[in-house]
Amino acid sequence: MSAGTLSAPVAPSNPSTGRRDGFGQLLRAEWTKFRTVRGWVIGMIVAALLTVLMGLFAAANVNIGCDINGQQNSGRGCLPYVPIGPGGEAVEDSFYFIHQPLAGNGTITAQIVSLTGEHAVLTGPQQASNNGPDMTAGLMPWSKAGVMIKENTKRGSAYAAMLITGSHGVRMQYNYTEDVAGLPGAVTAGSPRWLRLTRSGDTITGYDSADGSHWTKVDSVHLAGLSSTVQIGLFATSPSYVQTSTSFGGSSNNGGPSQATGTFDHVSVSGSAPGNNWTGEAVGGGGPVTGPGSQGGAPTGPLTRPFHPSNGRYTVTGSGDIAPIVGDAQGPPTATVEQSLTGAFIGLIAVVVVAAMFFTAEYRRGLIRTTLAATPRRGAVLAAKAIVAGLVAFVAGLVACTVALAVGVPMERGKGEFILPVSALTEVRVVVGTAALLAVAADFAVAIGAVMRRSAVAVTTVIVAIVLPFLLTVLNVFPSGVANWVMRLTPAAGFAIQQSIPHYSQVLTASDVARGSYPLPPYAGFAVLCCYAAAALSLAFFLLRRRDA
């Protein structure tokens, strides 16, 4: 919206058409009021500048150093290798895989008779001895073992797997982000599970069974561009054990590795005995943490055979995860694109101040009586003010966020920060959504200004309603269950529109607002804020009509 287009001289409307106080005129009047108050225009420009500067300040102060082979490195040299999945997302791909090549179509069937696990003991600071950390028995909820068909053993390549989990029953998972539930319940000696994967062209179908004769199809997936020869076999992995202790003023993550061991029986590939041409491989360093073949705390490098075929049974032990990286405490240090939009909070406060004044100033100088004499339809006045304030906030926010993201993200990358990749569409949603958030906050402030009439009270109400719940959540004042409800029910829910990395139910994460993970999906959170603004506008409409100006 440039001043030129809206303030261009418009011929006075012809009284004979009866459109003298048309809504367009009203909008123009309100826009004139806005743009001719120098403080408001300056306020919006300063807000946009501060939003950008805050993003650049954060990016400029990224300081990443690392030690590679005894050499001190910093910046780009420290960018970790992060595999990228078929869908373009950053993934973790580490597990123990015993595999053989499969040319063309085929099937793998296995009975899984047990799944057990160990995790690091977390008593005080981590005591890593030469034999790896002390371990205690315990299965993670998303520890997994099962059968897999994978493009190749490179990290991040396409795959489909039928697997049994620690506490989520049988699942079919593929290409890191997808997860389909199969038979419920844990695997025990009394109730083993049968898993089967069938490849036919690019299509892989997963089946499960409780008895090995009655099979149920779980899902059928299309893995585009699958090679004619793929790797087929058995795998096991187990995500890190993380204990989050939250206290007032901060949360600390204490964690350590875990490993899972799956025992397979009646393994057959394409209907016949698999033979002895298995290769055991710790994909992405996903070998066992302790025991034969382990590498102490960091299971990498060549391994002896941590799988034991005996009497047709196979025992496979692995650690790691096959899942998208969501930027929480686990995995390599990463950042999200929306982290360069931290400055939007500064913009938010400025927008709220200006928008509230946009209405309260009318009362202070008695201008409201002139305004209402010129336009007796009070609802239209409110609507015009809301539209003008919202549009100004949207445009200022859009410019500021676009610049902050376009400059900040490459800057952070250049300093060695791994930015979790997202699609261009998601980036647009984050930027446009943040601008829309400012616009809705502006309308909220206009409405509260009309209700309260006093600018100080109106400004405080809106800022406290939007910012304080967010702040108290970031400060970990509330336990996570309460914090989730605070971020669902208060206007602060609107910040969910900035979340670029979605929540995956198969990745165990606490929704942690400080790390950009909200309990509501982006648009639902934004809708909550919109509801507050709509309720405030309705109340303002009601009171404006009912009260004398």
* Residues at the contact surface with other proteins, assessed by CB under 8 A: 39, 43, 54, 58, 61-63, 245-249, 335, 339, 342, 345-346, 349-350, 352-353, 356-357, 360, 364, 454-460, 463-464, 467-468, 470-472, 474-475, 477-479, 482, 514
Q: Which is nearer to other proteins, 195 or 326 (CB)?
A: 326
Residue where the block lists tokens 């100004």: 392
The rounded Cα 25 to chain-centroid distance in angstroms is 44
CB of 360 to other proteins, least distance (A): 7
Alpha helices per DSSP H over 365-377:
367-374
- In contact, 98 and 307? CB cutoff 8 Å: yes
What is the rounded CA–CA span in Å between residue 214 and residue 199? 19
What is the rounded CA–CA span in Å between residue 192 and residue 338? 45
CB of 329 to other proteins, least distance (A): 12
Strands 106-120 and 144-150: unpaired
Q: Which is nearer to other proteins, 159 or 241 (CB)?
A: 241
Q: Which is nearer to other proteins, 288 or 343 (CB)?
A: 343
What is the rounded CA–CA span in Å between residue 399 and residue 404? 9
| Sequence-separated (6 or more) residues with CB below 8 Å from residue 509 | 326, 328, 503, 517
CB of 209 to other proteins, least distance (A): 37
Which amino acid, residue 244? T
CB of 483 to other proteins, least distance (A): 9
Q: Which is nearer to other proteins, 37 or 391 (CB)?
A: 37
Q: Which is nearer to other proteins, 162 or 463 (CB)?
A: 463
| Sequence-separated (6 or more) residues with CB below 8 Å from residue 176 | 85, 86, 87, 89, 91, 93, 322, 323, 324
**Which burial class, exposed, middle or buried, applies to 313 when counting CB atoms under 10 A from its CB (0-12, 13-18, 19+)?**
middle
Q: Which is nearer to other proteins, 374 or 514 (CB)?
A: 514
CB of 467 to other proteins, least distance (A): 5
Q: Which is nearer to other proteins, 308 or 364 (CB)?
A: 364
CB of 481 to other proteins, least distance (A): 8
Kindly list the distances between the CA atom of residue 372 and the CA atoms of 263, 363, 545, in Å, as whole numbers in the listed order: 79, 11, 11
Q: Which is nearer to other proteins, 80 or 292 (CB)?
A: 80
Kindly list the distances between the CA atom of residue 185 and the CA atoms of 141, 191, 487, in Å, as whole numbers in the listed order: 12, 9, 33
- Concatenating the DSSP letter of every residue in 302-331 gives -----B--BTTBEEEEE-S-EEE--SSSSS
The count of other CB atoms within 10 Å of the CB of residue 292 is: 12
CB of 455 to other proteins, least distance (A): 4
CB of 513 to other proteins, least distance (A): 8
- In contact, 197 and 161? CB cutoff 8 Å: yes
Q: Which is nearer to other proteins, 111 or 330 (CB)?
A: 330
CB of 334 to other proteins, least distance (A): 11
